[in-house]
A = this chain, B = another copy of it.
Amino acid sequence: MTTLRRYLPILDWGRTYDRTAFSNDMIAAVIVTIMLIPQSLAYALLAGLPAQAGIYASIAPIILYAIFGTSRALAVGPVAVVSLLTASAVGQVADQGTAGYAVAALTLAFLSGGFLVLLGVFRLGFLANFLSHPVIAGFITASGILIATSQLKHILGVSAHGHTLPQMLGSIFAHLDQVNWITLVIGVAATAFLFWVRKNLKPALRRMGLSPLMADVLTKAGPVAAVVVTTLAVWALGLDARGVRIVGEVPQGLPPLTLPAFAPNLLGALLVPAILISIIGFVESISVAQTLAAKKRQRIDPDQELIGLGAANLGAAFTGGYPVTGGFARSVVNFDAGAETPAAGAFTALGLLFASLFLTPLVHYLPTATLAATIIVAVLSLVDLSILQKTWGYSRADFTAVAATIVLTLLMGVETGVASGVAISVLLHLYKTSRPHVAEVGLVPGTQHFRNVRRHKVDTRPHLLTLRVDESLYFVNARFLEDLIQSRVTEGCGITDVVLMFSAVNEVDFSALESLETINRRLKDIGVRLHLSEVKGPVMDRLETSHFLSELTGRVFLSQFDAWTALASEEHLNRAAE
């Protein structure tokens, strides 16, 4: 029963569902639905799919996530970055507008869903951690720029293509003579209006005396207003006949039952992009879910989240959708609007189902320029170049990772960009740990504390060299320590004892063990003893399984002060003996 409830969180919150929760969830659902209708159409367009795919991708996935997900406020559906990744991946195997393109998008959702479920079942959610915060921030910023740029062609009314910034800009410049001026007017007006709504409408409505809830609903309805006005304008003035591109025929009805394709070639070509989409989607989703859950002391189980998101994507694959994830904007809106349980999501799904059944004929004359405007306004809030400045001040390694991710994403495309970002951050981390901070320490007079001889006035003894190693010892830095001790001992005269202080050594792997054995042997050859101090329990447990401790020429001291005292009295005895 408990296991069942772990895998089906709906059994948890479902049992205590009451009237208050219901009405709160309903209000949230209405607000989110109003926001989602134009957004879903727009993101489908961004993914290169027919508009209805965005609506379909917001119905079954939301319901499946409500059953399997652990977040009470996360709103699942098409999001900007994943739509861009979809366009980039599917564009490599099929041409936009063909049946093959839509099937490839379903297959991508299927692969992504399957991969997420596998990760969840095998509890491998930690893999997402390889995306460092700077890499994610850089990637999201660069994606925002790419997405906004990709929409310029709709605003200008030209046909252009490309998946990198130079390709897109080049293609737009090449077609600049074909600009459709009516489209441009609609696009620029819609963009300006939406920016104004986002920035100024809510305070203005509040000043006019509207309740916060009403002000919020009206602000969220801004894109709907833009859609309605521009659609009416095109229909009334017959602008589609004058070259303004419109959404056109959108089929009316329930989401269709669809099947992804299982051709080995296609699966092979989409596998890596699917993994990338899964991990990026999961990272975006889990950060939102955790931030919202923390505000109410609720818990998110990351591995169960993988299963929830996986189920949502599998749902998308079989109902005419494309890859989905938990979106930042819609989840925050859902949370702020008072959603208490995943039922709010289910009601949103019902709202969108209603739209799919009855409202689609109304968007026939909707100009794509308006949808492009909603995308541009939404994604420009993702662009945050301040991360460059923040990391520059904090750490050059992190700055390098961000800058490389941004530049490579813009110039080489999303997949190369994010993969390079991960590789660079791993390499920089390994580089940092390959040359650990090692301090020669001495006794702070009057205490039992040992500090760096270069920073503090401390006592030292000529025959005793004590080194504090500030890093776990493993293969990447094992040889570094060998070299360091070798050079210290050959430089210093009269050293008879070397103590390695292990207070910050959290691991000693087999390479480091062999290095310690080598250091011990080499020091022995020249008559110097090697001691350890302050070795942690887990490290000691492991060293005890090896021969190292029995071969060690010196001793292992519980504390550095013990080592100091013991070796001092030995020295005293030796001198007395001489």
Contacts and interface: CB of A to CB of B under 8 A. Distances in A.
Interface in A406-447: 425-426, 429-437
Contacts of A509: 132, 395, 397-398, 429
Contacts of A398: 509-511
Question: Which 10 pairs across A and B sit closest by C-beta, in order of nearness?
Answer: A132-B475, A398-B510, A294-B522, A133-B511, A132-B511, A470-B506, A133-B514, A129-B476, A504-B504, A126-B434
Nearest to A559: B449
Given A129-B434, A435-B126, A525-B294, A471 B506 contact: yes
B506 A437 contact: yes
A126 B536 CA distance: 27
A43 interface: no
A286 to B, nearest CB: 8
**Listed residue (A294, A426, A510, A525) with the most chain B CB atoms within 10 angstroms of its CB:** A510
Interface stretch (A73-81, A175-183, A348-356, A538-546): A538-546
- Tell me what chain A mostly uses at the interface: helix, strand, loop, or mixed: helix
A425 B545 CA distance: 21
A129 B480 contact: yes
Contacts of A128: 479
Contacts of A299: 486-487, 490
A350 B569 CA distance: 56
A297 interface: yes
Copies of this chain, complex-wide, total 2
A209 interface: no
A426 B509 CA distance: 12
Contact of A538 (B435, B437, B536): B437
Contacts of A572: none
Nearest to A294: B522
A134 B474 CA distance: 11
A258 interface: no
B482 A290 contact: yes
22 contacts: A126-B434, A129-B434, A129-B480, A130-B476, A132-B478, A132-B509, A132-B510, A134-B511, A291-B518, A294-B521, A295-B522, A297-B490, A297-B526, A299-B490, A302-B483, A391-B510, A395-B510, A429-B475, A436-B506, A503-B503, A504-B506, A504-B536
Contact of A429 (B474, B486, B487): B474
Contacts of A429: 474-476, 509
Nearest to A547: B390
Contacts of A268: none
A15 interface: no
A575 interface: no
A129 B522 contact: no
Nearest to A489: B297
A311 interface: no
Interface in A434-465: 434-437, 452, 455
Contacts of A434: 126, 129
B297 A129 contact: no
